[in-house]
């Protein structure tokens, strides 16, 4: 592997000039000219033109001062090849009636394409044709860049902005495009994943380690036939990075000037979308809501400040605009409903999640209101009253297990928070990537008056108030989880993060204080019903 820095100048394939019928060029020696590119056309009759060459020229000569002997001709060809000349054009007549055979042999020997110019083709016509072709190629590039930049800008305004920008980048470059966070964790990707994906991640990690600000690195792996490129995304201070954008591209289609321009635009957009200001939604609506909460406002009073009247979610820059393409507009805004999400990271997340991680999860969950604290996640997702949550498989790929509440008004958010927590416990215990809280209106709850049910619950669990450590709330939580998991000691221990003997001890304490046999199915049914009506609980179908 060799790290490379490639600055591409405007050029035209030599094959374009060969194919121009007005020029009448023919190749008489050297490798395939169609594979060479020409940056400029130069004319010379010097014995040694190399001091005046910069490389990439299509060098034209009529051989006025071409050496007469084969050794001299060979020296001439060797010099221009060393100077980086792309091809040599030889004009026959009036000096030479035909291309000298020694020149043909020498160009073959040194790998220099040799083209014959007929007497009717002026040297200046070759230059005009080359520059016209370069200008036409440049115009095509500019149009392609403009189309790609427009598509990227539109993608950045979508709800799933990060994924959409990566998708457009992959479509316009043909490269596998992947976003890594500051720890080298793959957040999102688009395009065909190459076999060299692990090399791309290694390059991203190495670039991050030596990074002191925005930078880029490129590697060409001849064995695997790929070009690997990494761009770091600067944070707001311009010195640190929030993430890296990496691209893996087949060697058969190496990065062009268009690819580099498009990648540059995508890098800027992704840097903005993963910057702390965007990822953390520091907008006036969110700040105003925070001020109201700190001054004692209720969630129901604050909720309207979080959803502007145009239907877009405040702070939507993290998710790229309105959630789910305006799915929360209209009914959701008027109804003011929310889904609460709880999450747990399987490997233990960092103490403070980076902006790139937050921006990615915001886009996946469809909300800018995401809070990560160590391995735990909580989020508020605006939704319609009858809309189910948008469960993200990609969140599971990133190591998150999620629990979703039923849609709730701002005033019912505490109950929705409990629902999301229990849904998460079920997901952790069963190994499911996500669990959504559901309610069935045709239940026993509908047959019992709410006031009677609450009296039953208070009476049934009153003896637990006399319990010592760990206290009634812990005992009730253990009982609830155990009943939810059908009396499984091991799964209850997993869900609560305690030892199975701790679960047994707590439930034995509950059975003793309530004077009940927890192995009796009827008792379990009665306890489960009563648990739903404890203070702080509210079955969805009851006020």
Closest CA to 382 of 303, 290, 274, 293: 303
Contacts of 408 (CB under 8 A, 6+ apart): 337, 338, 339, 340, 415, 416, 419
Q: How far apart are CA 367 and CA 228, in angstroms?
A: 33
Question: Which residues fall within 8 angstroms of residue 56, CB to CB, at 6 or more apart?
Answer: 9, 11, 37, 38, 39, 40, 84, 85, 86
Give the pTM. 0.56
What does the pLDDT read at residue 74?
97
In the predicted model, residues of the chain with pLDDT beneath 70 are 1-8, 208-225, 234-242, 251-254, 275-335, 348-354, 439-450, 535-543
CA distances from 168 to 251, 260, 473 (A): 20, 14, 51
pLDDT on residue 3: 40
Count of helix runs (H) and strand runs (E) in the chain: 19, 19
Dist CA 343 CA 451 (whole Å): 34
Task: Give the pLDDT score at 293.
Answer: 62
Q: Any idea what the Cα angle at residue 184 is, between residues 181 and 186, rounded to 5°?
A: 70
Q: In this predicted structure, what is the pLDDT of residue 357?
A: 76
Q: 245 pairs with which residues across the strands?
A: 179, 231
Q: How many CB atoms lie within 10 A of CB 390?
A: 17
* Start-end of H helices in 47-122: 70-82, 101-110
Q: CA–CA distance from 423 to each of 417, 419, 473 (Å)?
A: 10, 6, 18
| DSSP letter assigned to residue 300 | H
pLDDT at position 83, please?
96
Q: What is the pLDDT of residue 14?
A: 93
Regarding beta strands 226-234 and 241-250, do their DSSP bridges make them parallel or antiparallel, or are they unpaired?
antiparallel
**3-state DSSP call for residue 515?**
coil
Rounded to whole angstroms, the Cα distance separating 344 from 358 reads 14
C-alpha span between 67 and 18 (Å, rounded): 27
Looking at residue 316, what is its pLDDT? 37
């Amino acid at each position: 592997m060799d790290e490379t820095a490639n600055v591409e100048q405007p050029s035209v394939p030599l094959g374009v000039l060969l194919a121009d019928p007005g020029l009448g060029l023919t190749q008489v020696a050297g490798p395939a000219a169609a594979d060479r590119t020409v940056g400029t056309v130069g004319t010379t009759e010097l014995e040694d033109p190399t001091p005046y060459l910069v490389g990439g020229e299509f060098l034209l000569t009529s051989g006025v001062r071409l050496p007469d002997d084969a050794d001299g001709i060979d020296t001439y060809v060797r010099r221009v090849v060393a100077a980086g000349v792309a091809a040599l054009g030889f004009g026959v007549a009036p000096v030479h009636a035909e291309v000298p055979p020694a020149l043909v042999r020498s160009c073959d020997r040194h790998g220099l394409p040799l083209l014959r110019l007929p007497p009717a083709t002026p040297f200046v016509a070759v230059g005009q044709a080359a520059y016209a072709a370069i200008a036409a190629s440049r115009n095509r590039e500019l149009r392609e860049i403009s189309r790609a930049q427009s598509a990227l800008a539109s993608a950045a305004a979508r709800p799933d902005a990060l994924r959409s920008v990566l998708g457009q980048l992959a479509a316009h470059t043909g490269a596998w495009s992947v976003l890594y966070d500051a720890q080298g964790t793959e957040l999102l990707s688009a395009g065909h994943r190459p076999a060299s994906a692990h090399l791309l991640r290694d390059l991203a990690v190495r670039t991050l380690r030596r990074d002191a600000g925005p930078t880029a690195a490129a590697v060409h792996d001849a064995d695997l036939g790929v070009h690997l490129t990494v761009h770091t995304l600067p944070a707001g201070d311009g010195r640190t990075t929030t993430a890296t954008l990496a691209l893996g591209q087949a060697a058969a289609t190496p990065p062009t000037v268009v690819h580099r321009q498009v990648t540059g635009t995508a890098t800027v957009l992704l840097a903005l979308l993963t910057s702390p200001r965007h990822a953390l939604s520091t907008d006036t609506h969110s700040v105003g809501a925070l001020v109201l909460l700190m001054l004692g406002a209720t969630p129901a009073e604050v909720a309207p400040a979080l959803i502007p009247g145009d239907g877009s979610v405040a702070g939507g820059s993290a998710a790229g605009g309105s959630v789910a393409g305006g799915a929360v507009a209209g009914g959701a805004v008027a109804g003011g409903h929310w889904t609460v999400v709880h999450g747990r990271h399987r490997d233990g997340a960092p103490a403070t999640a980076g902006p790139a991680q937050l921006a990615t999860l915001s886009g996946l969950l469809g909300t800018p209101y995401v809070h990560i604290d160590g391995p735990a996640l909580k989020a508020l997702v605006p939704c319609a009253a009858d809309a189910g949550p948008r469960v993200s498989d990609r969140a599971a790929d990133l190591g998150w297990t999620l629990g979703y509440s039923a849609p709730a008004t701002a005033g019912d958010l505490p109950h929705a928070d409990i629902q999301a927590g229990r849904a998460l416990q079920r997901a952790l215990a069963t190994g499911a990537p996500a669990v959504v809280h559901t309610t069935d209106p045709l239940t026993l709850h509908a047959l019992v008056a709410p006031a009677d049910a609450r009296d039953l619950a208070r009476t049934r669990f009153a003896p637990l108030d006399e319990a010592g450590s760990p206290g009634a709330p812990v005992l009730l939580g253990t009982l609830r989880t155990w009943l939810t998991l059908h009396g499984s000691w091991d799964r209850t221990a997993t869900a609560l993060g305690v030892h199975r003997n701790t679960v047994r001890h707590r439930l034995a304490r509950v059975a003793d204080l309530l004077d009940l046999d927890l192995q009796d199915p009827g008792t379990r049914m009665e306890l489960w019903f009563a648990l739903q009506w404890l203070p702080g609980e509210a079955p969805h179908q009851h006020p």
